Structure formats: C-alpha cells, structure tokens
C-alpha cells in the first residue's frame, strides 16, 4: 500500500481560508487556538499518523484481533498497543477535552482534522479512541461530579478507554426493544444483566480498565425508548473514590469475523449482574445516548473522508506511474512503451471524482465541527441555539454522504489499479472493505436520511436548513456580479431554489401519507449532500482567489470545482426524480410466499 501523506496544505486551506477557523476561535476565546500552535499540532499529527499508525494498517488487516475463549481476553494486532501508548504519551487522547479535566482544550474543529489523519492512515486502529471520545462527551454532559472525577479524567488521560454498549441481537437499531436489565442494589449501584453485540473496543489489550456505557431498563421502566437508562459499567469494579477492585461480571463472549476493519475488536459483550452506576436520571438515558451517538456519527463521517483521501492518494500515484495503452489522440510519451494511465479521460474522471468529493467533504465536515465549538463555548444563547440547529441538520448529511462517497471513491481507486487493485499487496481492496461498514454503523444511511427528512426537516420545521439556505443565498447575492464566480453562482442558486421547492413538495405529500417520507428520504439526503458540496466548492474557489496562494493552487481549486459542477452536481436531477416518484413507485411485497 502507498504510504499515507497528510494533505496539510489543503487541511490548512479548509481550516483557515474557507471556514475562517482562526477568527472563530478568537471570538470563542479559545486561548490555545493560536495559528502557530495549531500548525504545530497539525505537523505533529501528520508525523504520528504517517510514521506510527500508517505502517500498521496492513498488519491490522492481515492479522486481526484474537479472542481467547477461555478468558474472554482480546489481543490486538502487533504494534497496535504500542501505538496507543505513543498516542497517550503524545497527549492526543485529551486534545479537545477541557483543561479542568486534564485535557488540552483545543477546538473540536482542529481535533476533526487530526481524526481525519488517523482514519486515513489506519481506520481500524482509530476506532478505539473514537469510542472513548463518545464516552467523554456523555460523561462530560451527563455525569455526576464524582463520575467525572473518577471515570472521565481517566479516559481523557488515556489510562482507561470507553465504549458504547447499545445494540442487542434481537433489536438492532430499534433501541425501544432492548431487554438488558438493571436491578437496583442497596449500595446505590445496579446489577446489569444482558447481552450487547457489535461493541467496538469492548475488549482489548490497550488498557487494564474499560468503561462501558450501557443502555438498560430498570424494573419499573415504561416500554419503548421512554424506559431506557444509561449506566457506567467498568471492566474492573471501581469505587466512587476511584479505587479499582476485582474483575466485574462483564466478559467478551466472542469477536465478529468481519468483511473489513479487522484490527478493530468488534465484540459480543455479556453482562451477568455486573456492577454499574446510573448516569443522569432514571429512564432518561436516551438523551445521554444521543450525545454519544451524534458525536460518533460526525466521527464516522470523518472516517469516510479519511478513506476518500487515502484511496485518492494511492490511485493518483499509481495512475501517474503505471504505463498502459496509448492516448486516443496519439502517444504522449513516445519514448515509452505506453502512456501513463492518467492520459486516459476516464481515469481522470475517477481521480477527479475522488478529489472533488474528498476536498469538498473536508470543508463540509469542518463546518459541522465549528458548530460543535460554538455550541460548547459561546456565551451567546442565540448563537448556541443557532449552532445546535445547524449541527442537527448537518450531522446526518456528514455521516450519510461522506460514508457513501467513501464507498464510491474506494471503488474508483480500486478500478484505477485494474486487476492489481483486486489483490492485497496494493492495499486498495482493504480500503474498499473497510469503507463498507461506515455506511452501516452508528446508523445506516437510511437512518440518517429519515433523521434528516423526518425529524430535522418535518418535525423541527427545518430550523437548521433555513440557516443553511440563508448562507447560500447570501453568498450568491454577494457574488452575483462577480465575473470570476458567475459560472458557479448561477447553477448553485438554481439547485438551491429547487431544493427548497422539493422540500415543500415532500412535506405536502407527507401531510396526507407519512409513508412518503420513507420513500423520499434517501434520495432527499443525496440531493442535500450534493447541493451542500456545491456551496462549499463555490466558497472554496472564492477563498482560494482571495487568499495568498500560488497560481497552481488557485487553478487546481477552480478546475476541480468546474469538474464538480459539470459532472457531479447534475446527479441531483436523478435524486429529485426519485423523491418525486413517491411511495406509489414502491409496490408492497406480500408477506406470504
């Protein structure tokens, strides 16, 4: 596999020029977020991911995790534990956590870029800190002070890791069906009993203690999602004063044999009266769960971004080096036995698709990350409310579309290699296998689509969408007379207008038949994603022209944007047709054979 190289120039461009991160962080009074410090963090993040994590990617895929059935222990691939110790030693586990809890208090937006580097260099390894980050957010927002002191600090400094134990064998994504029980004990603890599946990092050899955040039902809990509570269940019994004792009654029963991400331990976890502590109020676990889930959804979107960039890097290098066939217009390298693959138009189509979707997605994802920073740090209630609305709107788009595009782009990259892409030594087939899970875990694309259209648009009346449409309309108005931008502004304004009209049409149809939302949702999600990326590509061209960049960089941005608008944005026509075809185009399938 080609060695990973962090695209620092484009990352800085997205962070500073397009998103305006430096000014935002100053406004939010994030003292550590000075440009020289952030640049140093990016440089060190690139070094760590390129030299430590990157070389372990193929090893993790080929060796995988090993489960000891007699003890329940899981051994991660060679080098994974050492890499984690270096990760902790470098302070990465607490990069964005509050200083009051032992973190470095850097912006989540900067953390998102480091996350992309980790995902691109070694997706399976990066799953472990991903789940810890979700646990940090849940404990930070919902935990009692003693829980923060005992558990949160230990996860932030990397001594312990965290998990999310939500899914059960019979329930899948339908959390209202979960059966795991929580029986109150006399000492204000709870005995947790049940089985959870697909638990990332449920068992491993990185740390002695693993802090499981487990959804369960109290004896008197109402049915459905209204009866869900969240509990802290440590692998090792941990007292309120932080004293660690004997092994708790929680054990890894097996690990899944998966299509990809073999270096990530995906566990079946059995709780047999394990001692746990309630987080928050009884039967109010769903709110804490969604704190974890939404954090994880944005993080999985970044996984899709990392895979797009890694696949693009490999395919671009190979296509420049590999000679095969001649250009249709005549030999471009007559001194060679054949021309490089990049002379062929369809190779360039695939490469530019990866580049356009990847670089556009980077800005989209960072925009969502800035909403997290505003929500966490702004002292203005109106700004925080607006950021919350925007973040809710963007989260299903980032998670759903960046992962779907990662499947498309790893496909294109593998295709550029031809037969060599299908064999293991080049690494493309691993990326394709690893990418496939990203559209499934932390909520499938269909779930993201229903969240976007059913909840964020219909139930919440499109509060975040109205903001986003306002941003696009303002940008178009400001640039409508700019001759350098008009080629992007006119089509952007048109698809944005159609987006609003399409939304109204779906809402009108759904008012008489709720099934219309389910029928339209996925096409609507894709339509939204393509329009969002068109906006950020137009913004990227404007930022490149306004910034201190060389001519080649500016030309590259403009040409990639032109490709996006000419070749990719027209996909909205297919998706609008899908939305408008309605539920009547989906005939019912008889239950009986």
The residues assigned a catalytic role are: 442
- Three-state DSSP class for residue 530: helix
Contact 233, 274 (CB under 8 A): yes
Across 390-400, b (16+ Cβ under 10 Å) vs e yields bbbbbbbbbbb
| Helix H or strand E segment including 27 | helix 21-27
Give the 3-state secondary structure of 228-256.
CEEEEEECEEECCCCCEEEECCEEEEEEC
Q: Which of 92, 96, 31, 102 is nearest to 370 (CA)?
A: 96
Residue 252 sits at φ, ψ, to 5 deg, of -80, 115
Question: Where on the phi/psi map is residue 544: left (φ > 0), alpha (ψ -120 to 50), or beta?
Answer: alpha
Q: How many CB atoms sit inside 10 A of residue 378's CB?
A: 18
3-state helix, strand, coil in the chain (%, to 5): 60, 10, 25
Q: 269 forms bridges with which residues in the sheet? A: 196, 252
For CA atoms 151, 157, 160, 165, give the dihedral sign. Answer: positive
Structure tokens at 209: 């203690």
- Three-state DSSP class for residue 79: coil
Q: What is the DSSP string of 279-307?
A: ESSTT-HHHHHHHHHHHHHHHHHHHHHHH
Q: CB-based burial of residue 323 (10 Å sphere; 0-12 exposed, 13-18 middle, 19+ buried)?
A: middle
* CA distances (Å), origin 529, targets 210, 397, 476, 516, 533: 37, 6, 18, 20, 6
Structure tokens at 338: 């054949």
Contact 206, 264 (CB under 8 A): no
Contact 182, 229 (CB under 8 A): yes
* CA distances (Å), origin 207, targets 81, 214, 546: 9, 19, 48
């Amino acid at each position: 596999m080609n060695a990973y190289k962090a695209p620092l120039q484009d990352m800085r461009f997205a962070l500073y020029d397009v998103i305006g991160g430096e000014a935002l962080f100053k406004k939010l009074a994030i003292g550590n977020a000075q440009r020289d410090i952030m640049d140093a963090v990016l440089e060190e993040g690139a070094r760590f991911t390129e030299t430590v994590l990157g070389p372990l990617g193929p090893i993790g895929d080929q060796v995988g995790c090993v489960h000891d059935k007699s003890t329940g222990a899981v051994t991660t691939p060679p080098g994974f534990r050492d890499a984690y110790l270096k990760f902790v030693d470098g302070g990465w586990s607490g990069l964005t956590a509050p200083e009051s809890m032992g973190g470095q208090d850097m912006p989540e937006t900067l953390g998102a870029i480091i996350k992309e580097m980790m995902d691109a260099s070694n997706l399976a390894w990066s799953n472990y800190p991903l789940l810890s980050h979700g646990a940090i957010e849940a404990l930070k927002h919902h935990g009692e002070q003693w829980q923060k002191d005992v558990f949160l600090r230990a996860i932030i400094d990397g001594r312990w890791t965290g998990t999310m134990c939500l899914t059960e064998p019979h329930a899948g994504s339908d959390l209202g069906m979960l059966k795991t029980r929580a029986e109150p004990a006399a000492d204000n603890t709870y005995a947790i009993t049940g089985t959870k599946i697909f638990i990332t990092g449920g068992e491993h050899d990185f740390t002695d203690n693993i802090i499981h955040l487990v959804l369960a039902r109290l004896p008197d809990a109402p049915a459905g999602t209204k009866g869900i509570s969240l509990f802290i269940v440590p692998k090792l019994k941990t007292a309120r004063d932080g004293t660690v004792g004997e092994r708790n009654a929680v054990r890894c029963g097996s690990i899944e044999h998966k299509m990809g991400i073999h270096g990530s331990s995906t566990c079946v976890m059995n709780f047999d009266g394990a001692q746990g502590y309630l987080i928050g109020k009884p039967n109010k676990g769903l709110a804490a769960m969604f704190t974890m889930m939404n954090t994880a959804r944005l993080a999985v979107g970044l996984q899709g971004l990392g895979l797009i960039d890694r696949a693009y890097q490999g395919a671009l290098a190979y296509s420049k080096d590999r000679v095969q066939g001649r250009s249709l217009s005549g030999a471009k390298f007559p001194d060679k036995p054949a021309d490089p693959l990049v002379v062929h138009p369809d190779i360039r189509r695939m490469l530019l698709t990866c580049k356009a979707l990847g670089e556009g997605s980077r800005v989209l994802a960072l925009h969502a990350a800035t909403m997290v920073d505003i929500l966490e740090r702004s002292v203005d209630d109106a700004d925080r409310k607006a950021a919350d609305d925007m973040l809710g709107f963007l989260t299903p788009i980032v998670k759903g579309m960046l992962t779907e595009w990662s499947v498309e782009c790893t496909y294109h990259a593998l295709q550029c290699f031809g037969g060599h892409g299908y064999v293991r030594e080049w690494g493309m087939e691993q990326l394709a296998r690893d990418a496939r899970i990203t559209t499934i875990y932390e909520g499938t694309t269909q779930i993201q689509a229903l969240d976007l259209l059913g909840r964020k648009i219909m139930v919440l009346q499109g509060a975040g969408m109205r903001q986003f449409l306002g941003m696009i309309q303002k940008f178009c108005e400001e640039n409508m007379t700019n001759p350098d931008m008009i080629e992007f502004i006119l089509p952007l304004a048109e698809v944005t207008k159609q987006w609003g009209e399409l939304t109204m049409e779906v809402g009108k149809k759904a008012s008489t038949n709720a099934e219309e939302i389910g029928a339209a949702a996925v096409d609507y999600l894709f339509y939204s994603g393509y329009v969002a990326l068109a906006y950020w590509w137009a913004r990227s061209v404007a930022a490149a022209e306004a910034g201190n960049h060389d001519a080649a960089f500016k030309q590259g941005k403009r040409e990639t944007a032109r490709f996006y608008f000419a070749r990719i944005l027209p996909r909205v026509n297919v998706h609008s047709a899908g939305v408008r075809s309605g539920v009547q185009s989906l005939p019912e399938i008889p239950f009986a054979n």
